[in-house]
Amino acid sequence: MKKLNTLKQIWHQLYGKKHDDQLNDFLEYLKEFKKRRVIKDQESEWYKDAIVYSLYVDLFNNDFNGLTDKLDYIQNLGVNCLWLLPILDSPMRDAGFDIRQYTKVRDELLGMKASDSDREKRFAFRGFLNEAHKRGLRVIFDIAINHTSDQHPWFQESRKGSENPYRDYYIWNKDTNRYTETRLLFKGMETSNWEQDGDCYYFHRFFGFQPDLNYRNPKVLTEMSGNLLFWLGEGVDGFRADAIPYLWKQENTNCENLDETHLIVKFFRAALDYVRPNTLLLAEACQKPTEVVKYFGDGDECHAGYHFPLMPQMFKAMAMQSNKPIRKTLRKKVTPKIPESTQWFTFLRCHDELSLELVYVSEKDRAYIHKNYCHKPEWDFREGEGISARLSELMQRNPDKIALAYSIMLTLPGTPIIYYGDEFGKLNDETYYNEKIKETGKDDTRFLVRGKIDWGQLKKDLKDKESLSSKVSDKISKQIKKRKKYKAFGRGSIFWIDAKNLNGSDNNHVLVYIRKWKSQRILIIQNLSDQTQTFGLNILPEISWIDMFGNKAKYNEKEQAMTMNPFEYLWVKL
């Protein structure tokens, strides 16, 4: 009953009491749903021990049958959670983030025809989930809750006129003079947040074919809650809530991170918790840490959120060959403390660009990172606010630098995400990029970082010990397997250690810390420099130190100093 009372309180804060009939209908539906679908509770805080693998089903291996065939590959890699990039029914103008129907997986991903029954399609998807769960792989997927496709039935009805009952599911106006302080997210691809349709305009934050939902209409909130519950009932373990900061619109604001948006998220969370506690709700909030942390609430909003600002600072640290950007970002002044039950999700690359939005990097940092990593003009995204390139391309196909980047990401606090193909150094896919431009009519350079895996070619490359794929795969797979064994990485605290030059000055080329959880203590030492570094630590090394990968630390007892090769890393269990 506590969760039901929470839902009532949130509803009244959003809408007052004039829509109580809709609220009561939803609560009755919720109680009936829980009674009808007996779903086993999830383990508390399981996401803290997760290593996530992110993929597009079709680009990874054609469809869910192909993905099922590769589940052993994924399991052997060492990951234990799959993040499926958009799988729901869509015209595919924005890689599936333009959803046409919320309770249906795309037919082609199921390897099925449109004429096959919904029951058969649901059975096929459940079959995949069962195979994943057998292997200890949890499954989460993307759901865009801020907007739909313009092909969604709601929008098709909405555009018929002001008297249509679905008109108020979206935001319509006779001109473009509302929400004028809202920033344009897709600079260079869109010119306005308003799109003309007939004699009126509708509001959108992303592409013009993705109209924003109107959460001022309580029906939108109950409908979207029902969509989440539908997939919870099918057996999905969690959701990545796409574009979460923009849900509520308010005149004379920038329409981001508003109080009502947080109430909507609390409503989703309470509804999910009522039916199945610990169903992951992951916030995709491309904001400063001080704003992202608000999406954790008091442990009553999202369970986890992306640490967007840490990602570019890892790249900056490697470009500067200095630990300062990382250490500065993880100070409490920049990254506030979060509720005990919640978690940051960390990543190097994802399906989008290397984001350099000015909401969380300074103009100076943006320019510096762009200059050091945008190695080709065609990689530019959003007029310098991003770089569309795979990790191996950003690191100029240097397997040692790629492995160092992963060492940093896998050992810092948080739950790490591996983007499909990065584990073997997948390159930008220009052929796929050019194909998608023709299909969508949009010059979206993010398509460079997607593309299909050629499993036949990969098999040959992995056998060739001198290939980039083989070298990267060997290093990354070893790191993932070691990380999985120690809860200190996902749950532990971090203690920074200063490296000192022999003259006593700081050696900022070396990034050193201890991860500690209960009796586990793991010392991480990483040389960010392309030069050999000799340094001392304010922790007494042992001459016989051998790290988890069998590498022996080079320690000079007389000088009490360590020497590390360029881009070398050591994970030492203390």
DSSP string, 305-350: EE-TTHHHHHHHHHHHT-SHHHHHHTSTTTS----TT-EEEEES--
In a shared domain, residues 340 and 434? yes
Q: Give the DSSP H/E element, type plus range, for residue 38.
A: none
Q: Is 18 inside a domain boundary?
A: no
Question: Is-contact 204 195, C-beta < 8 A?
Answer: yes
Is 5 within the bounds of a domain?
A: no
Show which of 427, 459, 485 is a domain's final residue.
485
Residues 53 and 142 in one domain: yes
CATH number (domain holding residue 531): 2.60.40.1180
Whether residue 59 lies inside any domain: the answer is: yes
Out of 284, 357, 380, 444, pick the active-site residue: 284
Beta-sheet strands, E only, within 183-342: 194-197, 200-203, 238-242, 280-283, 304-306
Catalytic residue chosen out of the listed positions 142, 242, 429, 568: 242
pLDDT for the residue 540: 66
At 13 the pLDDT is 97
d(CA 208, CA 94): 11
Element (H, E) at 521: strand 520-527
Whether residue 364 is contained in a domain is answered as: no
Q: Are 463 and 540 members of one domain?
A: no
Can you give the pTM of this predicted structure?
Answer: 0.94
Question: Measured in whole angstroms, how far is the alpha carbon of residue 306 from the centre of its chain?
Answer: 6
pLDDT at 423: 98
Residue 547 resides in a domain: yes
Domain interval for residue 437: 46-146+218-306+334-354+376-485
Q: Which residue has the tokens 């009808």?
A: 36
* pLDDT at site 502: 92
Within a 10 A sphere around the Cβ of 76, how many other Cβ atoms? 11
Q: Determine contact, residues 182/199, Cβ cutoff 8 Å.
A: no
Same domain, 422 and 568: no
Q: Please check whether residue 83 lies inside any domain of the structure.
A: yes
Q: Are 158 and 188 in contact (CB under 8 A)?
A: no
Which of 485, 511, 527 is the C-terminal boundary of a domain? 485
Q: What is the pLDDT of residue 357?
A: 84
Q: Are residues 470 and 496 in the same domain?
A: no
Indicate whether 362 belongs to any domain. Answer: no
Active site residue 422: no
As for how many domains the chain has, the answer is: 2
The one-letter code for the residue type at 137 is: L
Residue whose C-alpha is closest to residue 446's, from 392, 375, 379: 379
What pLDDT, on the 0 to 100 scale, is given for residue 541? 61
CB 67 within 8 A of CB 460: no
Beta bridge partners of 170: 213
Same domain, 471 and 405: yes
* Tens-digit pLDDT string for the chain (574 aa): 788 999 999 999 999 998 999 999 999 999 999 999 878 889 999 999 999 999 999 999 999 999 999 999 999 999 999 999 999 999 999 889 999 999 999 999 999 999 999 999 999 999 999 999 999 999 999 999 999 999 999 999 999 999 999 999 999 999 999 999 999 988 888 999 999 999 999 999 999 999 999 999 999 999 999 999 999 999 999 999 999 999 999 999 999 999 999 999 999 999 999 999 999 999 988 888 888 899 999 999 999 999 988 999 999 999 999 999 999 999 998 999 999 999 999 999 999 899 888 878 899 999 999 999 999 999 999 888 899 999 999 999 999 999 999 999 999 999 999 999 999 999 999 999 999 888 888 788 999 999 999 999 999 999 999 999 999 999 999 999 999 999 999 999 999 999 999 999 999 999 999 999 999 999 999 999 999 999 999 876 655 688 999 999 898 888 889 999 999 999 999 8
Residues in the chain, overall count: 574
Contact 408, 422 (CB under 8 A): no
Residues 555 and 481 placed together within one structural domain of the fold: no
On whether residue 169 sits in a domain, the answer given is: no
Q: Name the token pair of 428.
A: 């930008």
Q: Give the phi and the psi of residue 563 in degrees, each rounded to 5.
A: -125, 130
CA atoms lying within 13 Å on the CB side of residue 532: 6
Give pLDDT, residue 412: 98
pLDDT at 217: 98
What distance in Å separates the CA atoms of residue 49 and residue 268, rounded to the nearest whole number? 24
Whether 454 sits among the annotated catalytic residues: the reply is no
Looking at 420, 450, 485, the residue that finishes a domain is 485
Cα(220)–Cα(148) distance, rounded to whole angstroms? 12
Task: Judge contact between 419 and 54, C-beta under 8 A.
Answer: yes
**Is there a single domain that holds both residue 343 and residue 443?**
yes
Measured CA angle at 231 (ends 225, 234), to 5 deg: 145
For 182-228, what is each residue's pLDDT tens digit?
Answer: 999 888 889 999 999 999 999 999 999 999 999 999 999 999 999 99
Kindly state whether residues 441 and 511 are assigned to the same domain. no
Exposed/middle/buried for 284, CB within 10 Å: 0-12, 13-18, 19+? Answer: buried
Structure tokens, 217: 């209409």
Shared-domain flag, residues 563 and 426? no
- pLDDT at position 542 is 59
Distance CA 132, CA 58 (A): 17
117 vs 95: CA distance, rounded Å: 25
Q: Answer yes or no: do 116 and 235 share one domain.
A: yes
pLDDT of residue 288: 82
CATH code of 247's domain: 3.20.20.80
Both 558 and 448 in one domain: the answer is no
> If we measure between CA atoms, which residue out of 186, 417, 137, 446 comes closest to residue 305?
417
